[in-house]
Amino acid sequence: MLASAISRLTARRLRAHGSILALCLWSVYLWNMTTPGLLDRAGNLKGTDFLHFYTLGSLALAHRGADLYSMRVQAALAAQRVPAAAGIVYLPLYPPQVSLFFAPFARMSYPSALALWLTLSSLTYLLCCYAIFRACPSLQSHKLTTAILALAFPAFWHLVAWGQTSALALACFTAAYFALRAQHEFLAGLALGCLIFKPQLAIAAAIVFVITFRWRIILGAILSALAQLTAAWLYYGVGAVRDWIRILRNVPHLLPLLEPRLYQTHCLRTFWTMLIPWPLISLVLYVITAFLISVLTVTCWRSRSPLPLRYSALLLATILLAPHLTVYDLVILAPAFLLISNWIVSESRDPAGTGFKLLLYLAFVLPLVGPLARWTHLQLSVPVMAALLYELWNLDRRSHLVPNTE
């Protein structure tokens, strides 16, 4: 019965499901945002997290590096620049160079800056999807299906709704993929090093490339990260960088502020935190499962599997291993969805493709039901992504795969 249900996931049905999902998601978003003023229908500030980046940009314009990690000062400045934001407080964790990136936006009014940022984020996401799609020859006959599903991806909807920066992380991973595809490992490292603005997303890559001795990638990543921090040091002085490092050390004590809605997270650490009420036991289970995921990912990277499948495994591990991963960060899985789908279509006669279809479908839609974990304490997306990674690891044991020719 399950195999029969999976076989019904034809391109036509996927288009229908995607169209319905995209229509529902974006209709809700537009309905919520079409209110006078800066508050949406739920009474929340439009753009949500973008307010934090707007405030950081305002601090950069004033060269106020000493205030980059003061919640009190930033809350007061946010209320001054955007009166509707009075009372909103954010935990400042981004490295100081992020404020420099958003300084041009802070020269505008908040509504104009928000509109520009959402436009740029959406274009970045769509261009990354298009670039990966162009590299998937077996998907070229499924242009409409791919476009609809890209628009219907719940993580993309959350990215826009929250006004977050995860499209930049997607751009880093996309650039790294094409650099690896062209065998330019140093350039791939430069792209991955840009993830210093979200360092939790670089953990899986660091584990894989250190263990597999890809020193060009490691060197490029280190130089890229250092260049960003040096820019912040030159602009603010060493104090801002030192303050960032200090607050990172205190993150374990700040997690309740960082994750007020734990059910919106999708990683191994918060999976066990929600499921197991005893902190020590949940931490031990996170460490054990993170170790297993790391072993699977390193084994995948050393396998004969082609680069698209190995890179998809790396992206899945990036999500699972990150100690903090909110729903909008799932946009970095867009290349994995496309690359694995391309393999499924090209290997249409392979029975392994049936299991991949189901897992991909579930990984795509389950973020929608993530809020149910508030009551069930079970974030279903996490075991599905782990199962998808396991299947990628298991592929190398199948005789149909040809040796890697990258």
Q: What is the pLDDT of residues 5-26, one digit of tens each?
A: 555 678 888 999 999 999 999 9
Inside any domain, residue 404: no
Inside any domain, residue 52: yes
For residue 45, the one-letter residue type is L
pLDDT at 400: 46
Inside any domain, residue 81: yes
Give the whole-angstrom CA distance, residue 161 versus residue 43.
14
pLDDT at 401: 45
**Domain extent at residue 235:** 2-395
Give the whole-angstrom CA distance, residue 30 versus residue 49.
18
Phi, psi of 45 (to 5 degrees): -65, 135
Inside any domain, residue 400: no
- The candidate with the shortest Cα–Cα distance to 70, out of 96, 105, 38, is 96
Both tokens of 369, joined, read: 């039901």
Exposure on the CB side of residue 254, measured as CA atoms within 13 A: 14
pLDDT at 87: 87
* Residues 343-346: contacts with CB under 8 Å, at least 24 apart: 343/138, 343/306, 343/308, 343/309, 345/138, 345/139, 345/142, 346/137, 346/138
For residue 214, the one-letter residue type is R
Tokens 């992380």 belong to which residue? 169
Residue ranges of the chain with pLDDT lower than 50? 1-3, 399-406
Number of structural domains (the chain) is 1
Inside any domain, residue 405: no
Inside any domain, residue 148: yes
Q: For the whole model, what pTM was predicted?
A: 0.93
- The candidate with the shortest Cα–Cα distance to 124, out of 183, 168, 72, is 168
| Pure H helices in 197-278 | 203-211, 215-236, 238-249, 251-258, 268-275
Inside any domain, residue 61: yes
